[in-house]
Amino acid sequence: MGTLSTPVPAERKQPSHEASRVALVGVHGFGAHHLQNLERLQANGVVRLVAVADPNPPTPGALPPGTAVFSNLDELLAGTPALDLVIVATPIQTHAQLALATLPHADLYLEKPPVASLADFNRLQEAATAAGRSVQVGFQSLGSRGLQAIEELLAAGEIGTLLGISATGRWVRDRAYYKRSRWAGKRSLDGIDVVDGVATNPLAHAIATALRIAGARTADDLATVETDLYRANDIESDDTSVIRIRTAAGLPITCALTLCAAESVEPYITLQGSEGTAVFHYTEDRLTVSAAAGKSETAYSRVDLTEDLLEHRHQLRSGKGPVAPLLSPLTDCGAFMQVLEAIRTAESPALIREQYVTWEGDGDAARAVIHGIEDALERATAAHATFRELGLPWARPAGVDVERPVLSLRDGGLPGGAAVVATLQSGAGLAARLSPRPYLHPVRTLAGVKVTDHLPADHPWHLGAGFALPDVNGSNFWGGKTYTRAAGRYEERQDHGRIIEQSALSGAGLLEQDLSWQAPDGTELLRERRTTHSLLVDRRTWRLELRTELTAVVDSSLGGPGSNGALGSGYGGFFWRLPACTGAEVFTAEGRGEPAVHGSVSPWVAWTADFPEGPATLVFAAPAEAQDPWFVRMADYPAVGSALVWERPVDLTAGDSLVRTFAVWIVDDKPSPADVAELVAGRVSATR
């Protein structure tokens, strides 16, 4: 059932009431953990382990003296009168049957996940209510006192407004893990639901903890659950997945989980606040807070869930004083079960192709490692995006409503006679904070080198190649935080607009779009006519031309951080986010390096580097309509832009238009500055 750090005992040494009579069903696997814990509690006089049941008997001497041994639960219940509590730590597919059989006789501690379907969960809730029994579910992380600390820091506004929650799990499991039992890695077994996947069993605590922090306990607390499920192992269920949840209150929760990491890392929950972040390593009960006041880290103790249930029973039966609610009651598992049901009913996990997986180790100790999975998890949680939306090479296609090839080149001299050089992303599914908008990604060289990036973990609102502005009449069409002159800093604001494609016409080398720039309330501020061409230069070079005509629907002020007072941060307009690369150089005819190029008004800028697929160069020509400064970043992240609003806003009266035309040469080579100058001048090819 997965393991967590050893629970911290509650701060009471001796019981104030008679020892409870307890039975344990399942003494192997995670049942061994319960057995060890019960021995501790029995030594402290809290419980008496009177019986166990398991078809595979425990080894001699493994049980306290006087403990009866049965082969199944029915025999145990028939032969053991006056039970107070039964702990069920058996395979997932047996939970419903065993729990229902237990409830007429005793209170219940049920390992996670409680059951394997929403229908069984509802049946179990009804049975528990009818029997008047208390049911605790084994999400041990919910016993952490760190959760109370998180509740208090959120109430105090220590990290500002909570914008989203993410859960990241990077564990390692080998072939032996999936051979330990018949049900391991199964979606169903002998016609019975199992749903033994990364999100429902080994890293189920990540989802349960994230839901608890969000205050989502019942099914009604969730608005939507989306799944993106994959497997690298030869199993039925998922070993690598993104689960994206939106609560009824609109809070996004994104869980990116894998059992195919290069190495195991303690899983963690990240609280994304407007003024800081909090990271909770739930297996260690360790909370790190980064906010304006500084950074702090605190380790908390944990209440043992078995003790919590026993104390709850005693309070109920004593009739004295208030009864504290259980820390992980069955009634609070509705939201988690809604997630499990979405996974259970989703299409089967997609197999990740072998070229994207490395097997490390031999025999049963061999384990799958998905290439780049750590970066993929970080991107997914930062952008609240699925693997398919990230466009990972092993992920399912995003679909024509999300992406479609739009620019291609055909020539008898090209390998295969044709090449798709650019794909249009609609941006429709992006989180509001990213200012959803159409953009080009991936853009490739003729040899297939990818030269754009999107949804990077450092700035998830950086979206391939496109055109956007951080401030139009107070609406942010760029994404992320907004810099205002009044605050003198970047602030998290609910001011994100979106750019929507109204119509489009595309051919092999042409894309014409009519776009609507809409404020958060849906008011249209600008209309844009965007025309994009691809033209073949030679066998190593093609040119992308992008022309945008912005027309103001209402009197409009176009701005950004530079025009709002942030010196040197005049980005806004045409922008190209490059992927990670090595040996990068940026230069113009007059200078070389970021300090010399950033803010210059050179007629062109070149970026040359070694990308993962090979060397390439991009040459950006300034718009003919104006000498806009160049915005260049190398040290922090790789990007080039032409800044429309470097220091001053651009004001448009309703009905007025603004035009900018850009050209980018994309070369499978590393030409010299002289070659680049000749290329831009159109005199010779970039090929030497």
**pLDDT tens digits, one per residue of 30-39:** 999 999 999 9
Residues 617 and 666: their CA atoms lie apart, in Å, by 6
Confidence class for position 17, pLDDT limits 50, 70, 90 = confident
| The predicted structure's pLDDT at residue 342 | 98
Number of domains in the chain: 1
| Structural domain includes residue 438 | yes
Name the residue range of residue 643's domain: 397-658
What per-residue confidence (pLDDT) applies to 14? 45
pLDDT at 16: 57
Mean pLDDT score across all residues of the chain: 94
Contacts 24+ apart (CB under 8 A), 671-677: 671/606, 671/608, 671/617, 673/587, 673/589, 673/606, 676/604, 676/606, 676/617, 676/619, 677/589, 677/604
Could you tell me whether strands 68-70 and 47-53 are parallel, antiparallel, or unpaired per DSSP bridges? Answer: parallel
Please determine, for residue 529, whether its predicted confidence score (pLDDT) is greater than 80.
Answer: yes
CA neighbor of 537 nearest in space, from 648, 686, 418 = 686
86 found inside a domain: no
Task: Answer yes or no: is 48 within a domain.
Answer: no
Tokens of 153: 């820091």
Tens-place pLDDT, residues 432-459: 999 999 999 999 999 999 999 999 999 9
Average pLDDT over residues 129-154: 98
Q: What is the pLDDT of residues 559-600, one digit of tens each?
A: 999 999 998 899 999 999 999 999 999 999 999 999 999 999
Q: Where are the alpha helices (DSSP H) in 133-192?
A: 146-155, 175-179
Specify if 618 maps to a domain: yes
In which region does residue 382 sit, left (phi positive, over 0), alpha (psi from -120 to 50) or beta (all else)? alpha
Name which of 127, 132, 129, 92 is nearest 110 in CA terms: 92
3-state secondary structure of 316: helix
146-to-2, 169, 287, 297, 332 alpha-carbon distances in Å: 20, 19, 7, 11, 18
* Structural domain contains residue 14: no
Structural domain includes residue 170: no
The rounded distance, in Å, linking the Cα atoms of 398 and 430 is: 12
DSSP structure class, residue 382 = H
DSSP letters spanning 214-263 = TT--SGGGEEEEEEEEEESSSSSS-SEEEEEEEETT--EEEEEEESEEEE
Does pLDDT of 311 surpass 90?
yes
Residue among 292, 453, 345, 393 at smallest CA distance from 118: 345
CB count in 10 Å sphere of residue 30:
17
Indicate the pTM of the whole model. 0.93
Q: Which two tokens stand for residue 30?
A: 């995670």
Q: In this structure, what are the phi and psi dihedrals at residue 363, rounded to the nearest 5 degrees?
A: 60, -140
Q: How many CB atoms lie within 10 A of CB 494?
A: 12
Looking at the chain, the whole-number percentage of residues with pLDDT higher than 90 is 90
What does the alpha-carbon distance between residue 471 and residue 485 come to, in Å, rounded to a whole number? 12
List beta partners, residue 666: 542, 618
Q: Are 428 and 402 spatial neighbours (Cβ–Cβ below 8 Å)? A: yes
User: Which residues are within 8 A (CB) of 651 and not within 5 positions of it... i.e. 6 or more apart?
Assistant: 555, 556, 557, 558
| Inside any domain, residue 383 | no
pLDDT band for position 60 (50/70/90)? confident
The answer to whether residue 636 is domain-embedded is: yes
Tokens for 62?
Answer: 């493994």
For residues 324 and 339, what is the distance between their CA atoms, to the nearest angstrom?
Answer: 27
Residue 412 has pLDDT above 50, yes or no: no
